Structure 1
Amino acid sequence: MMVDMQTWFGIQQLYADYASAVDSGQWDLWPEFFTEQCVYKLQPRENFERGFPLATLFLTSKGMLKDRVYGISETIYHDPYYQRHVVGAPIVRRVADGRIHAEANYAVFRTKLDKESTVFNVGRYIDTIVQTPEGFKFAERLCVYDSEMIPNSIIYPI
């Protein structure tokens, strides 16, 4: 599916800004990449491909994303770590009813303060993006990770 260069650049910028915000630990910015009524889901590939609804994390509004940010910054105790996203170029799969359906591969690396960097999570984003007065935003972000084995807790957004 072809989109004009300005639209493709806007999608690319959305992906880059998202990764930059979560990699820099600016958690308050994370919900602002989404519409008010949105979906953010982290799901194993096996469940996604079989159509099973079970997800590791399933948030259904911007308010729930903000609650997650509060938990990350105020209530969850964990060993701090850095994460770094490497995101492939987005592929626009289709455009329908003012919604852009796009995908991109991702790899997230994690670095604990006293350890070497490791591969933390790898998969693909399956996104529904809409144009808003503030620019492009995610109406839905599905993070489908490839491995069935993941760390016992995923604190930060993928």
Structure 2
Amino acid sequence: MLDFSTYSELLALYADYATAIDQAEWKKWPEFFTENCTYKLQPRENHERGLPLATLAFESKGMLKDRVYAATDTIFHDPYYQRHVVGIPRILKVDGQRIEAEANYAVFRTKPDDMTTPYNVGRYIDIIRKTADGLKFESRLCVFDSEMIPNSIIYPI
């Protein structure tokens, strides 16, 4: 079980993560993770079949920083905004300094000259580590439901 203070911190981690991405504060994104971390965006079909192929896969905080650089300084694309709607995290397991949790998410995309559309929907499967700097994601697996995705995913989910 989590105590109230830790659970409140967990809720803040999820909310702050979504807010940073929604407000395009890209340099904050890697800071939600431990140094040795994983971040993957994977189709549900692959996840359920135990297949390792992921749409995006990063294996360290350094790789997350490289992605931020690529997304903000080298990739050219039509501008768009994201808006996350994240469900309340469900605690699966607490083991010492680690918390396993999952939460449903829906990400909507709005292009400046177009209507808002659903962009990516699925669930986060997370391992969160208690650190001296607060709770951090040690692993974030974003399992999306649809087999169809936009031709490019630029920003984190």
User: Do these two structures clear the TM 0.5 threshold for a shared fold by scoring above it?
Assistant: yes
> 1:59-98 residue pairs with structure 2 within 5 A?
59-98=58-97
Distance in 1 separating the partners of 2:118 and 2:106: 7
Distance in 2 separating the partners of 1:54 and 1:45: 11
Query: What secondary structure sits across from 2:31 in the alignment?
Result: helix
* Structure 1 unaligned spans of 5+: none
TM-score normalized by the length of structure 2? 0.99
Query: Is 2:131 aligned against 1:139?
Result: no
Aligned length: 157
% identity of equivalent residues:
67
> 1:51-62 residue pairs with structure 2 within 5 A?
51-62=50-61
Aligned to 2:123: 124
Alpha-carbon offset, residue 3 of structure 1: 1.3
Distance in 2 separating the partners of 1:18 and 1:59: 17
Query: What secondary structure sits across from 1:48 in the alignment?
Result: helix
Amino acid at match of 1:155: I
Aligned to 1:44: 43
Distance in 2 separating the partners of 1:37 and 1:153: 26
Distance in 1 separating the partners of 2:8 and 2:89: 10
Amino acid at match of 1:30: W
Aligned to 1:24: 23
Amino acid at match of 1:108: V
Aligned to 1:12: 11
Deviation string 1:99-118 (CA, Å, 9 cap, x unpaired) is: 10000000000000100000
TM-score normalized by the length of structure 1? 0.98
Distance in 2 separating the partners of 1:148 and 1:105: 17
Alpha-carbon offset, residue 97 of structure 1: 4.0
* Structure 2 unaligned spans of 5+: none
Alpha-carbon offset, residue 133 of structure 1: 1.0
